Amino acid sequence: MGKPTGFMDYERKTSEAVSPLERIKNFNEFHTPLPLDEQQKQAARCMDCGVPFCQAGMMLGGMAAGCPLNNLIPEWNDLTYTGNFKEAYNRLHKTSNFPEFTSRVCPGLCEAACTCGLNGKAVSTKENERTIIEMAYKEGWAAPKPPKVRTGKKVAVIGSGPSGLAVADQLNRRGHSVTVYERADRIGGLLMYGIPNMKLEKHIIERKLEVMRAEGVNFKTCTDVGKDVKAPELLKEYDAVVLACGAANPRDIKAPGRDANGIYFAVDFLKATTKSLLDSNFEDKKFIDVKNKHVVVIGGGDTGNDCVGTSVRLGCKSVTQLEMMPKLPDERLESNPWPQWPRVAKTDYGQEEAIAVFGHDPRIYKTTVKEFVKDSKGNLKKIVLVSLESKKDEKTGRMMMAEVAGSEKEIPADIVLIAAGFLGPQEYIVKEFGVETNERSNVKTEAGKYSTSVDKVFTAGDMHRGQSLVVWAIREGRDAAREVDEYLMGYTNI
């Protein structure tokens, strides 16, 4: 805990955000951290709650409650309050490989489950976490610490997203020799090219990668396993292989006119934007230019919001975001009690920016695309929308969203970005290793396990559990590493 009366003495404060109209001028992170003494007061708000759900990482009624990494939150909040930042870092690093990432991009399941938030405002745990890790880099506590003994075992990790990096980090610390294969030109996977720069500046990733390299992890970029390197080669060379390729198969929108020019998957749009930004500050023009164009984003969630914020920064003429489902309630329903994750409406940074620029919320709820309309050259010029309503399917008895007859309307659209989620890993990598998949197209394992149907081959992250959060991917990577270590050594001390 922090100060015994801290939650009564201090009001919650968080880092100040740059105003929307100012921050859209660049792709930089836009929060200014609190002064250190003020952040310590925020840590002091951690109360002696008895049962700290913030670190539980458990499922309640089918919904997550608390940190999936089981971070020792009350401990390092107290250590932050008392100024013992080195020990706070040691406690944080004990359960979390990448607090520099999660403190920036995690939605904060810990704060949603904070007891202080039950009748007041939650402790600002994410920003306390960020303070600790940034202090650790500043003071040299996060410097490379190569393992003193090597086991002689070699492991290949396919994919360098958060789960793959977590596997690599854990197994390398154990003393195994780890090589990470990445098909893109930069390491990081979803962290590098799926999350925009204004949410996670890429030098933050590179800083951690330099530590991992110095500790002995080998990274191979521009290497597409299954094409450039075949599975038999890897299985012969390595003692174990971990598939952490993500859920990279995007869900499409099937509607007349889908072949029109100007329709892209969100992941391709975001990747092209970040790559061009990093390569040339957009001078190479190798990105999907939406300047002075009407943009429509299909899908809510973080990816849809990222597309909105990116489009605004690139100078779009308008942006509309379509969501099939109804707007969530403004307050928790009785069916969604604390400490479950609150299913409530929120306005994220991209929507805030669209409101500031265009004067209205870009979201239209209970709506989808019925038709993409092309001009004579095959270019998208407008879309036909249709409203949806919740109805019971007569065959299955399930509730479903059905079209409302006569509700069609047209809006201009030069660019459509499909952010409708993902349907599991890409087929070629699954076939290359011959691993079994489940009914959701994810790589199949026994419940609670990470070993696949093929000897020596393991899996982790979105490829295993389906599209999820960065923090869940890291947890998957850590758990998979334990299983790999036990397979290699006969026991594990990870």
The pLDDT mean for the chain works out to 96
Tell me, what DSSP letter sits at residue 256? T
Task: Extract the tokens encoding 396.
Answer: 């299955």
How far out from the chain centre does Cα 423 lie?
A: 16
What pLDDT is recorded for position 1?
62
Of the listed ranges 187-191, 397-401, 472-476, the least confidently predicted one is: 397-401
Contact, 325 vs 401, CB < 8 A?
yes
How confident is the model over 72-101, as a mean pLDDT?
97
How confident is the model over 54-66, as a mean pLDDT?
88
pLDDT at 241 over 80: yes
Residue 469 CB neighbours (<10 A)? 18
Contact, 2 vs 78, CB < 8 A?
yes
Question: Does 256 or 401 have the greater pLDDT score?
Answer: 256
Contact, 430 vs 459, CB < 8 A?
no
* Residue found under tokens 């393991």: 458
What pLDDT is recorded for position 396?
82
> What is d(CA 325, CA 421) in angstroms, rounded to the nearest whole number?
14
pLDDT at 393 over 90: no
What pLDDT is recorded for position 156?
98
pLDDT in tens, 158-203: 999 999 999 999 999 999 999 999 999 999 999 999 999 999 999 9
Domains, the chain, in order of start with CATH, read 6-139 (1.10.1060.10), 154-248+423-489 (3.50.50.60), 263-418 (3.50.50.60)
> What is d(CA 103, CA 212) in angstroms, rounded to the nearest whole number?
19
How confident is the model over 143-165, as a mean pLDDT?
98
What pLDDT is recorded for position 494?
93
Q: Where are the beta strands (DSSP E) in 393-461?
A: 399-403, 409-412, 415-418, 457-459
pLDDT in tens, 250-260: 999 999 999 99
C-alpha distances out from residue 286 to 48, 192, 269, 280, 310, Å:
53, 17, 11, 9, 15
For residue 394, name the pLDDT band (cuts at 50, 70, 90): confident
How confident is the model over 479-491, as a mean pLDDT?
98
236 burial (CB, 10 Å; 0-12 / 13-18 / 19+) is exposed
pLDDT at 245 over 80: yes
Q: For residue 237, what are the contacts with CB-CB under 8 A and spacing of at least 6?
A: 154, 156
C-alpha distances out from residue 373 to 147, 258, 268, 319, Å:
59, 9, 22, 17
Contact, 439 vs 427, CB < 8 A?
no
What pLDDT is recorded for position 360?
97
Contact, 153 vs 488, CB < 8 A?
yes
* Residue found under tokens 């407008």: 382
How confident is the model over 64-92, as a mean pLDDT?
96
Q: For residue 367, what are the contacts with CB-CB under 8 A and spacing of at least 6?
A: 322, 323, 324, 385, 386, 387, 388
How confident is the model over 91-115, as a mean pLDDT?
96
Which alpha helices (H) appear in 193-264, and where do they start and end? 202-214, 231-237
Contact, 367 vs 387, CB < 8 A?
yes
pLDDT in tens, 324-340: 999 999 999 999 999 99
- Residues of the chain with pLDDT > 70, as a percent, come to 100
pLDDT in tens, 10-53: 999 999 999 999 999 999 999 999 999 999 999 999 988 989 99
pLDDT at 370 over 80: yes
How far out from the chain centre does Cα 255 lie?
A: 29
